[in-house]
């Protein structure tokens, strides 16, 4: 989908991209980096809007230096900042943008109705955008990037400004853009955590250089640690201890007790999940003890650890939070 | 839930079934850059008259359009009933007389056309599509000039039709009409360019409106005052050059020199052919300059 070869972009005072070589395949790819890491510069170059100082880049097999217009016809772009006029309705706006992408009038209207429905805007699409919530505005921005059915969309910080629920919905939507619509996605974020759930592949850039590029499963594959928390009951005043005993008896490998002074850490059991059956064992054991299961969640290695390479080597004992 | 309602439910479901057909890919035509430019031109031109926008945005441009046409209609009515041999108002003179209306129209519609895209940062969405900076600027400039041309040419058309109804000399009237059209075409390009430049440099719509009105009225007021003083104090030679400093008098100068118009300069002291060339060059330079400034302006905002 996207190939860059020692792509550099230098401004008089800053080097935004420094010999960046990438090979991004179909699917959902996360582009992670702190603010100013060169993400937006890369997007500009990929859209053929800003020439690279050196190196070359191809999008969908087209050279960005010579085929900018052809690329922009097949690629969608959702900017990070607000870009919606408040005084028109989502429908009018997206229809106009569809025509700017070259869709004939009738097709533009049909595609707009379809796309707005797919991003989850229904009756409100006839109301002026000015009255929309941030989440709805983000959906309109996504819709205008998808309305011409591109082969690839570039989403610049799509979860910016959203509350946790809106964030999850947007991430789910991004996932669907690939799985249901068959459109490949390049999504940027400075939050590593949210990309590991959404992306097949994550590229980490820092200071314009490639820090790491690998599939999300590589990042987080080593072990699956389960964190389990249970309530106490009258029969078992210390539910955690009772469960620890019962699980050990059931043959589940438990990690050492967490003694790091974090509030509530003493109530969390960390155990090794070997497969599906471990989940069943935990469930059955908890049920047999008559305790309430407060949480059972995966404690994976977090992408954040790419910034601390030594941390990834150690067993995951300290809870991330 | 009772059995009955369940039945109605199923019956309904059978008759009115919602098919979720999922995502459909688009494999129809993609008409590309030239089409996008045309669409933007059409949308902006319609937008200048409030078409395709809210009812409220139609009010002002439509009123101004009517105000432009009513004097022409009255002139025609008088000319036809009193069987005049000639129109009491020259074709080329009409836009000069109604310049305040043209100025208002420009002040209201130029910011509407470009400031919104700039202020709400919609411009990057255009430039991430096949359409490019040249296309955007040309479409907006073309649309604004066309909107002004419709506004200024419509009354001329009324005058011409009226003159034919009044059985005036056909060749004479048609020549005057054609000269008038050339003049307002030039005026539309000049005003459109200047208006868009001012609007594009002032992303707040209100400032844009004020800037356009101020530029047109202040320059015209200053130039005509200084011209009048120059004329009264006997320096007639200065009068024909002073007109170079305001858009309206520029057009006046060009049409006096080349389009057989009678100048509205004090004492009818319009520029001769020699000075007229300077006027024409000044107008063309301003139009080209407006285009250049707009291109520069949009280089910065592309993404």
CB–CB of A149 and B26 under 8 A?
yes
Q: Judged by CB atoms within 8 Å, which residues 38-57 of A form the interface with B?
A: 44, 47, 49-50
Residues 6 or more apart from A37 whose CB is under 8 A from it? A190, A205, A206, A207, A208
Looking at residue B15, its pLDDT comes to: 59
Residues 6 or more apart from B89 whose CB is under 8 A from it? B71, B75, B97, B159
Residues 6 or more apart from A236 whose CB is under 8 A from it? A242, A289, A290, A291
Looking at residue A310, its pLDDT comes to: 43
Residue A75 phi/psi, 5-degree rounding, is: -120, 145
Asked if A96 has any chain B CB less than 8 Å from its own CB, the reply is yes
Looking at residue A321, its pLDDT comes to: 41
- Looking at every residue in chain A, the average pLDDT score rounds to 84
Q: B129: which chain A residues are within 8 Å (Cβ-Cβ)?
A: 72-73, 97, 100-102
Taking 50 as the threshold, does the pLDDT of residue A298 lie above it?
yes
Looking at residue B9, its pLDDT comes to: 47
The residue with tokens 């999850």 is: A168
Q: Using alpha carbons only, how large is chain B's radius of gyration in Å?
A: 25
The residue with tokens 């007021």 is: B221
Domains of chain A: 2-220 (3.40.50.300), 225-313 (3.30.70)
CA distances for A283 relative to A236, A255, A288, A290, angstroms: 17, 18, 9, 11
Q: pLDDT digits over B94-112, tens only?
A: 999 999 999 999 999 999 8
The residue with tokens 């949009």 is: B298
Do A297 and A268 meet the contact criterion of CB atoms below 8 Å apart?
no
E strand or H helix at B270: none
Domain boundaries along the sequence of chain B? 31-301
Residue B63 phi/psi, 5-degree rounding, is: -60, -45
Taking 90 as the threshold, does the pLDDT of residue A307 lie above it?
no
* Residue of B122, B130, B132 lying closest to A101 (CB–CB): B130
Cα(A61)–Cα(A71) distance, integer angstroms: 9
User: Average pLDDT of A174-193?
Assistant: 90
Cα B23 from chain centroid (whole Å) = 43
Q: What is the ipTM of this complex?
A: 0.85
Cα(A46)–Cα(A63) distance, integer angstroms: 9
Q: Judged by CB atoms within 8 Å, which residues 130-169 of B form the interface with A?
A: 130-132
* Residue of B23, B122, B128 lying closest to A72 (CB–CB): B128
Q: B25: which chain A residues are within 8 Å (Cβ-Cβ)?
A: 149, 181-182
Nearest Cα of chain B lies from the Cα of A13 at a distance, in angstroms, of: 18
* Residue of A82, A102, A181 lying closest to B130 (CB–CB): A102
Q: Judged by CB atoms within 8 Å, which residues 116-155 of A form the interface with B?
A: 118, 144, 148-149
Chosen for mutation from B41, B53, B128, B203 (greatest number of chain A CBs closer than 10 Å) is B128
Q: Where are the alpha helices (H) located in A119-255, listed in sequence order?
A: 134-146, 164-179, 192-198, 216-220, 239-249
Looking at residue B302, its pLDDT comes to: 65
Q: pLDDT digits over A44-63, tens only?
A: 899 988 889 999 999 999 99
Taking 80 as the threshold, does the pLDDT of residue A226 lie above it?
no
Cα(A145)–Cα(A228) distance, integer angstroms: 41
Q: Judged by CB atoms within 8 Å, which residues 95-124 of B form the interface with A?
A: 116-117, 120-122, 124
DSSP state of B234: T
Q: Judged by CB atoms within 8 Å, which residues 254-293 of A form the interface with B?
A: none
* Residue of B24, B33, B124 lying closest to A83 (CB–CB): B124
User: Average pLDDT of B268-294?
Assistant: 92
Q: B124: which chain A residues are within 8 Å (Cβ-Cβ)?
A: 77, 79, 83
How long, in residues, is chain B?
303
Nearest Cα of chain A lies from the Cα of B196 at a distance, in angstroms, of: 19
CB–CB of B36 and A102 under 8 A?
yes
Cα(A278)–Cα(A286) distance, integer angstroms: 12
Q: Which pLDDT band holds residue A259 (cuts at 50, 70, 90)? A: very low
* A104-108, A192-196, A231-235, range with greatest mean pLDDT: A104-108
């Amino acid at each position: 989908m996207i190939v860059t070869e020692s792509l550099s972009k230098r401004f008089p005072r800053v080097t935004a991209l420094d010999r960046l070589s990438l090979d991004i395949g179909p699917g959902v790819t996360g582009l992670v980096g702190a603010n100013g890491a060169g993400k937006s510069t890369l997007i500009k170059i990929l859209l053929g809007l800003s020439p690279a100082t050196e190196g070359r880049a191809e999008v969908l097999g087209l050279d960005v230096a010579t085929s900018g217009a052809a690329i922009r016809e097949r690629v969608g772009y959702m900017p990070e900042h607000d870009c919606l006029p408040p005084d028109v309705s989502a429908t009018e706006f997206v229809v106009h943008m569809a025509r700017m992408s070259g869709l004939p009038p009738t097709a533009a209207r049909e595609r707009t109705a379809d796309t707005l429905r797919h991003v989850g805007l229904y009756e409100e699409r006839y109301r002026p955008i000015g009255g929309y919530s941030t989440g709805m505005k983000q959906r309109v921005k996504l819709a205008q990037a998808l309305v011409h059915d591109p082969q690839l969309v570039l989403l610049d910080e799509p979860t910016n400004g959203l509350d946790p629920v809106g964030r999850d919905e947007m991430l789910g939507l991004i996932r669907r853009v690939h799985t249901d619509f068959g459109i490949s996605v390049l999504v940027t974020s400075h939050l590593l955590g949210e990309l590991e759930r959404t992306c097949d592949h994550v590229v980490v850039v820092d200071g314009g250089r490639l820090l790491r590029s690998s599939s999300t499963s590589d990042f987080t594959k080593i072990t699956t640690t389960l964190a389990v928390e249970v309530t106490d009951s009258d029969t078992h005043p210390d539910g955690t201890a009772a469960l620890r005993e019962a699980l050990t008896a059931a043959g589940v490998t438990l990690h050492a007790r967490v003694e790091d002074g974090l509030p509530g850490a003493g109530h969390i059991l960390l155990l090794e999940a070997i497969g599906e059956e471990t989940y069943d064992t935990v469930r059955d054991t908890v049920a047999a003890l008559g305790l309430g299961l407060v949480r059972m969640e995966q404690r994976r290695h977090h992408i954040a650890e790419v910034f601390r390479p030594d941390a990834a080597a150690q067993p995951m004992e300290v809870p991330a939070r | 839930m009772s059995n009955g309602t369940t039945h109605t439910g199923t019956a309904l479901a059978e008759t009115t079934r919602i098919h979720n057909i999922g995502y459909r890919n688009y494999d129809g035509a993609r008409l590309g850059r030239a089409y996008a430019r045309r669409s933007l031109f059409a949308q902006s031109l319609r937008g200048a008259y409030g078409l395709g926008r809210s009812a409220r945005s139609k009010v002002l441009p439509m009123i101004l359009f009517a105000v432009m046409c009513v004097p022409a209609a009255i002139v025609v009515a008088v000319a036809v009933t009193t069987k005049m041999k000639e129109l009491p108002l020259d074709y080329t003179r009409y836009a000069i007389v109604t310049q305040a209306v043209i100025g208002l129209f420009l002040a209201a519609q130029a910011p509407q056309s470009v400031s919104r895209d700039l202020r709400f940062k919609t411009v990057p969405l255009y430039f991430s599509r096949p359409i490019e900076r040249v296309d955007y600027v040309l479409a907006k400039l073309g649309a604004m000039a066309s909107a002004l041309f419709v506004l200024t040419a419509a009354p001329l058309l009324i005058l011409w039709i009226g003159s034919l109804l009044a059985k005036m000399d056909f060749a004479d009237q048609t020549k005057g009409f054609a000269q008038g059209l050339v003049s307002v075409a030039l005026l539309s390009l000049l005003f459109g360019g200047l208006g868009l430049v001012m609007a594009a440099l002032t992303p707040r719509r209100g400032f844009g409106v004020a800037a356009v009105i101020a530029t047109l009225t202040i320059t015209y007021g200053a130039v005509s005052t200084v011209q009048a003083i120059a004329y009264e104090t006997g320096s007639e030679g200065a009068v024909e050059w002073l007109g170079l400093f305001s858009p309206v008098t520029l057009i006046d100068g060009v049409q006096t020199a080349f389009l057989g118009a009678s100048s509205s300069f004090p004492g009818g002291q319009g520029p001769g052919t020699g000075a007229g060339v300077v006027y024409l060059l000044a107008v063309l330079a301003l139009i080209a300059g407006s285009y250049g400034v707009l291109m520069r302006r949009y280089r910065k905002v592309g993404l």
